[in-house]
Chains A and B, each alone.
Chain A
Amino acid sequence: MLAQAANREPPAEPAGGQTPVTAALVRGLVRAQLALALRMALVVVVGLGGLPLLFVVAPDVGQAKVVGVTLPWLLLGAAAFPFLVVVGLAYVRLAERNEQDFAAVVARERDR
């Protein structure tokens, strides 16, 4: 196993390698980003993924009309796309905030 690992190409190490503190920080960042991505995915799974089930459970919803258009057509043909963009926008903002927090903590650690 060690010999195998030695034969492998060395990965691009960041300057200075990893201390236990940075390793813990990275674990925290990965966990935070994954939790964020999963939360956003859940919004879509419920918001969009629930629709087929909703139309089966409550057929009246599937037959309702809004401004002359049957509701499923309006939801799937038009509303779904801005909905996806809004979820994406929220994700980008929150993910960048997570990264800024990480960078700030790293900078503080280094200055200490």
Chain B
Amino acid sequence: MNPYVVPTLVVVTLVTVGIGLYGLRFARTTSDFLVASRSVSPAWNAAAISGEYLSAASFLGVAGLVLKYGVDVLWYPVGFAAGYLALLLFVAAPLRRSGAFTLPDFCTVRLHSPGLRRLATVFVVCIGCLYLVPQLQGAGLTLATVTGSPYALGAVVVGVVVTANVALGGMRAITFVQAFQYWLKLTALAVPVVFLLMQWQADGRPAVTPPEPTFAVATTVVVENDATLTLPDGTTEEVRAGTVLTYEPGDPAPQVSGVDARHGLDWLLPGDPGAGDRGLFATYSLILATFLGTMGLPHVLVRFYTNPDGASARRTTLVVLALVGLFYLLPTLYGVLGRIYTPQLLMTGQTDAVVLLLPEAALGGGTTGRLLGALVAAGALAAFLSTSSGLLTSVAGVLFTDVLHGDTNGTARRGSVRDFRAATLLAASVPMALSLGVSGLDVSQVVGLAFAVAASSFCPLLVLGIWWRGLTDAGAAAGVLAGGGAAMLAVLMTVAGPPLSGWPAALLGQPAAWTVPLAFTVMVVGSLLTRARVPADVGATMLRLHAPEIALKKL
């Protein structure tokens, strides 16, 4: 075991808490959203937004997917980044000008509807929980990989730590902390990748594919389930669960039955020859979900309030786009190099661990490899801490305001600290339970499902609310229920339903391509049918959303 890992993880936690305490001296209330809003520059703010956004799914999951499936899953990082462009084009400045702090707030500001506000609250909680699941999954995986503990123990322990932290106010949504987390995550991937690429050069630039992956170093693999091994020459071998296989450098890595992965040209080239049209459908569905889902994530919107005005909200979003784009250049390299240095992950299916294992696998067990291994573990912890704390704070805040206090105006934020703690516990328990049941799914795929629900519910609500005067509360509620509800059902079927294949699996596994158009259509038709319910003040609202602040003063 790597002796540097545990001290590094402790240091990251302490530094996170330390910077939080330091930042607290400047922020007198429980969050700096209100206090620091006029003093945070777009660069700091953007780093903070990126720090909160780049989750375990980005840090671990993307590289794992690339290792397993190849070029087709590059749409995940592209979509995660492009989501901010959609946010910039359609939402950023008007949302900041609306003064809305959360999505339920936006419903109140734009449509004055308590019913719609409650519905939005339900969806914020659902999306938040769905997004927390893969974070806990990533945490369980990280601890299991670096310390050897069972997966469930890791997920529960880290879940409890974050819950306690948020409930006791240990990690507040301080801009400094989140900005620090961004730079830590970037460094934790960027520094090792330089060493990895140098090692790859020194090894004579081994080809990624084809031929089949071979072991670069002597490796031991423990088979978890009974399986059939297929070697590149076509010979097969039956192995029982618990069999220990040892490989010498240069041995080809066999394909293991039951582990879903692509090989050879299927991995290298776009398109899935086995799936045909379904593959193309899944790709476009994923593009739609990630491009349009970002704007509906609860912890993303809340940060826009820290911009002083609409124009700076736009600039901040642009910097975020650049920062996350810079980050997403890196996980792909880990996935590709993992093909060379950690082919055993393709046999066990634990591809999400590639980022954690690659430095030691490629550079050997020397000091350099171990230090870099500790660095990526620190980055993974940062990814997990920042996103799950931000999410939990947002979800608990909405639960606290709208459910425990039944406050449908969103104006008063009263209530005791004890109620906020109860809300935090409530918001954390469901995802913790779910995270134990989904260990078979890839981290990034679960995140993709959360994006699909957000894209099918809040994206139409925000886009139509901001740009179309004709939107009514009844139409909006119908659209959110139809699109978001359908996407939620599809997610539940995928996670908990019977195994499907063919078109039903494609339609439910990547639902956005039909649920997003459904939501938009229902919302528009519903609004046209209830035209009498268009708010009387829609003209004034539109002026507030779109007119630059400087012109408003002159009016």
Contacts and interface: CB of A to CB of B under 8 A. Distances in A.
Interface of A: 1, 5, 8-16, 18, 22-23, 26-27, 29-30, 33-34, 37, 40-41, 44, 48-49, 52-53, 55-56, 59, 62-63, 70, 72-73, 76-78, 80-82, 84-85, 87-89, 91-92, 95-96, 99-100, 102-103, 106-107, 110
B362 interface: no
B185 to A, nearest CB: 16
A107 B544 CA distance: 17
Contacts of B332: 73, 77
Given A10-B537, A15-B555, A73-B74, 6 more contacts: A11-B109, A14-B540, A78-B329, A80-B81, A88-B84, A102-B551
Interface stretch (B319-327, B365-373, B484-492): B319-327
Contacts, number: 159
The interface size bin for chain B is 35 or more
A9 B112 contact: yes
A81 B548 CA distance: 29
Contact of B269 (A18, A30, A63, A85): A63
Contact of B409 (A9, A84, A87, A100): A9
A60 B280 CA distance: 17
A72 B89 contact: no
A41 to B, nearest CB: 6
Interface in B76-110: 78, 81-82, 84-86, 88-90, 93, 99, 109
B476 to A, nearest CB: 16
B542 A26 contact: yes
Interface in B496-555: 532-533, 535-537, 539-544, 546-548, 550-555
A106 B411 CA distance: 32
A83 to B, nearest CB: 9
Nearest to A2: B536
A34 B91 CA distance: 11
Given A13-B540, A16-B555, A72 B93 contact: no
A70 B269 contact: yes
A77 B322 CA distance: 14
A18 B543 contact: yes
Nearest to A68: B205
A72 B326 contact: no
